[in-house]
Amino acid sequence: MFEKTFEKKIKYRTGTNDLDILERVNKEYFVLLNHMNANEIVLDIGAHIGGFAYQAWKRGAKEIVCIEPDSDNFKLLTKNAKSLTNVSCINGAVTGQAPLIKSGKGKLRKATGSNKTVGCLRNDGTETVEVWSLDAVIEKYRPTILKIDVETEEHQIDFSNINKCVKSLAIEYHPGNKGLRIHDQLLKQGFITISTPELNATYNTVGVYERKTITLKAKK
C-alpha cells in the first residue's frame, strides 16, 4: 500500500481506513485536545499511526508517550513521530487480563486488510507483544492527559483507581454494557463528563472526562 500525507505531517496508507481514523481523531477528541496546555504530559494508549499524538504535539504538549501493539501500525507510528519533538513510541499493549500482566506477554490478533485499527489481545492471536496494566503505565509516565482506544480491551481494565496525576482523559467505548461500569467508576472518583458518551450503544463512542477540583475559600 502506498503512503500519503495528512496535513503534510502524518503519513497514512491508501486502501485502508487510516485517513478516516485520522479525521475522526480531530472530531472525537476535539474537546480533550482543546483542554491541553504547554505543560501537559500525554499518554496515548492505542496510538495507531500517531493521529492523536500529532494533534497533541501541535498544541504544544510537553511530552507525549505513545503505546501501540500492532507491528505494522507501530512502524508507521515511529516514522510519523520521527520529526516531532518530545514524542516517544513503545511497542506493546495495555490490558486488565491478570494472567497476561503476570507473564508480561500477550497474543495479538493483528489488524488486517483495509481495517488498520489497533490490533486486539486474544488468546488465538498471531503476534506476541509485551503487555502492562493501566496502573503500571500511568505510574511510570505520570501523564496529566490520558487517551485510551484499545479495541474492546477497555472491558478488561479496572478504572476504579486512576492515579491523581491524570486530570483529564478520553476513552473510546466499544459496544457492550461494560462501558456503564467504566463510566460509573470514573464518576465515583470525581471525574465529570465534558463530552458524554452514548453508553451501551451498538457503535463506538468516545467519552471525555475531567477531574473535578474543589477550591477552598480562605476563612475571613
Question: What is the architecture, at CATH level 2, of domain 3-211?
Answer: 3-Layer(aba) Sandwich (3.40)
> Can you tell me whether residue 38 is helix, strand or coil?
coil
Q: What is the pTM of this model?
A: 0.92
Q: pLDDT tier at 112 (50, 70, 90 boundaries)? A: confident
C-alpha cell of residue 204: 463506538
Over the stretch 22-79, which tens digit does the pLDDT of each residue have?
999 989 999 999 888 889 999 999 999 999 999 999 999 999 999 999 999 999 999 9
Tell me the domain boundaries of the chain: 3-211
Closest CA to 111 of 149, 142, 69, 79: 69
3-state secondary structure of 157: coil
- Mean of the per-residue pLDDT values of the chain: 90
pLDDT digits (tens, 9 = 90+) for 195-208: 999 888 888 999 99
| 149 in Cβ contact with 69 (< 8 Å) | no
